[in-house]
Amino acid sequence: MKIHAEDAVIVVIDEQPTFLAAIHEADRVVHRTQFLLEAAKLLNIPVLATEQYPERMGGTHEAIAPLVSQPIIGKMAFSAAGAEAFVAQLEATQRNQVVLVGIESHICVTQTAVDLLGSEYDVFLAEDAISARSAGMHAVAMQRLRDIGAVITHTESVVYEAMGGADHGAFRDVLGLVKRFAG
């Protein structure tokens, strides 16, 4: 299954500094999320985001928040699908491919993916922009989600699939992002 820009939406799960402080390779997660969201803007892919209990845990990371195309949704449920406002935003996109990034792999990302798969969305996990408090927790979550039908992928794969070819109008700009975010 391939990602198509016109069918895709990117969802950022709980990339809040309070949570990120304890996350394995948090800087990588933010860096790769930023790359994906900047590319999404070039490719006209909408970006949604959630925050877990923002009144207590604070807002989305400052490098990520400006790249979100819709108002960020606060939630108390671990699954983004447990927030009615998020579900309404997602349905309003009229897109059926959801690319997830964020934290934590084995809690909020997993529960969101399970619920979205149950609602017949195609779910892609940009693994390089997802993590947990340990590499082991992350690995278990990725395997579980693969086993139930989510597609494990990489942020660059998402972007290149969405473009389809080097003849895409945004190719040169995306290539510049790839180089800028390399490493």
Q: What single-letter amino acid sits at 166?
A: A
Instruction: Report the chain's mean pLDDT, rounded to a whole number.
Output: 97
Number of helices (H), then strands (E), belonging to the chain: the values are 8, 6
pLDDT of residue 177 exceeding 70, the answer is yes
In this structure, the number of other CB atoms found within 10 A of the CB of residue 174 comes to: 22
pLDDT given for residue 162 in this prediction = 98
pLDDT given for residue 183 in this prediction = 62
What is the per-residue pLDDT across 114-149, written as a single tens digit (0 to 9) for each? Answer: 999 999 999 999 999 999 999 999 999 999 999 999
3-state secondary structure of 130: strand
For the record, the structure tokens of 155 come out as: 């942020």
What is the per-residue pLDDT across 13-41, written as a single tens digit (0 to 9) for each? Answer: 999 999 999 999 999 999 999 999 999 99
Mean pLDDT of 156-179: 97
Q: What single-letter amino acid sits at 24?
A: H
Active site residues: 14, 75, 108
78: nearest Cα among 5, 13, 125: 13
Sequence-distant (≥ 6) Cβ neighbours of residue 11 within 8 angstroms = 47, 48, 49, 50, 80, 90, 98, 99, 100, 101, 102, 112
Answer whether 78's CB lies under 8 Å from 39's CB.
Answer: no
What is the per-residue pLDDT across 41-81, written as a single tens digit (0 to 9) for each? Answer: 999 999 999 999 999 999 999 999 999 999 999 999 999 99
Q: How far is the C-alpha of 104 from the C-alpha of 19, rounded, in Å?
A: 9
What's the pTM value of the predicted model, to 2 decimals?
Answer: 0.98
Q: Which domains does the chain have, with CATH numbers?
A: 5-180 (3.40.50.850)
Answer whether 181's CB lies under 8 Å from 34's CB.
Answer: yes
Q: Sort strands 73-75 and 97-103 into parallel, antiparallel or unpaired.
A: unpaired
